[in-house]
Structure 1
Amino acid sequence: MLWTILGWLVFGLVAGFIARAVVPGKDNIGLPMTILLGVLGSVVGGLLFGLLTVGVRGFEPAGWIGSVIGAVIVLVAYNKFTGRKGRASR
């Protein structure tokens, strides 16, 4: 159980960092939010991948790719919802 939680945290951290690197602009969300971004992105990506294919494949490359895509979707939605990155600097 502990190793599962640690695995999700590391997985979320990596997926969240990659998503933050892909989405342009500066993110001031911190490490806990990056982990949460990655974990939520993994869930979103897994759901989208499951809709397009038959079944979930776990920690295979498609799982990583789907997680990063999901994390990008979650980050863009978060930025739109909170109003970050959309405002012009004055």
Structure 2
Amino acid sequence: MEVSGILTAIIFGLIIGALGRLVVPGKQNIPIWLTILIGVLAALLGTIVAGAFGVAETPGIDWIELALQIGFAAIGVAVVAGTYGRRRH
């Protein structure tokens, strides 16, 4: 993977992770690097699931794929925030 691909994945992961944090109600006490990691993993998982359902390559914006990615990010943020918050106290 090239440097530009890694930077793109980090930026996209930050956006997807931030959108996932917005969907989850309440305050999440997790660091930004963990939000980025969750976002990158959610983006990859959402793309894989969208590909499995055959909705990854559609003309225009792939709204279903984007919704899957944000949904996975929200689930990831909720799970990690719950376990990370308990571990830190």
* Larger RCO (CA within 8 A; separation ≥ 6): 2
TM (norm. structure 2) is 0.73
Q: Given the alignment of the two structures, is residue 22 of structure 1 paired with residue 17 of structure 2, yes or no?
A: no
Identity of aligned residues (%): 32
Q: For the aligned residues, what is the CA RMSD? A: 2.2
How big is the shift at 1:53?
Answer: 1.5
User: Contact 2:10/2:40 (CA < 8 Å) preserved in 1?
Assistant: yes
Check 1:53–1:36 CA distance in 2 against 1; reply closer, same or farther (3 A cut).
same
TM (norm. structure 1) is 0.73
Cα distance in 2 for residues equivalent to 1:48 and 1:73: 15
**Partner secondary structure for residue 29 of structure 2:** coil
Task: Give unpaired runs (5+ residues) of structure 1.
Answer: 86-90
Per-residue CA deviation, residues 19-73 of structure 1 (Å, 9 max, x unaligned), is: 001111111111101100100111221122122216x44xx44343332122112
Cα distance in 1 for residues equivalent to 2:47 and 2:75: 12
Aligned letter for 1:40?
L
Cα distance in 1 for residues equivalent to 2:49 and 2:77: 16
Cα distance in 2 for residues equivalent to 1:83 and 1:31: 13
Check 1:38–1:30 CA distance in 2 against 1; reply closer, same or farther (3 A cut).
same
Aligned letter for 1:48?
V
Check 1:2–1:48 CA distance in 2 against 1; reply closer, same or farther (3 A cut).
same
After alignment, is 65-74 or 22-31 more displaced?
Answer: 65-74
1:12 paired residue number = 13
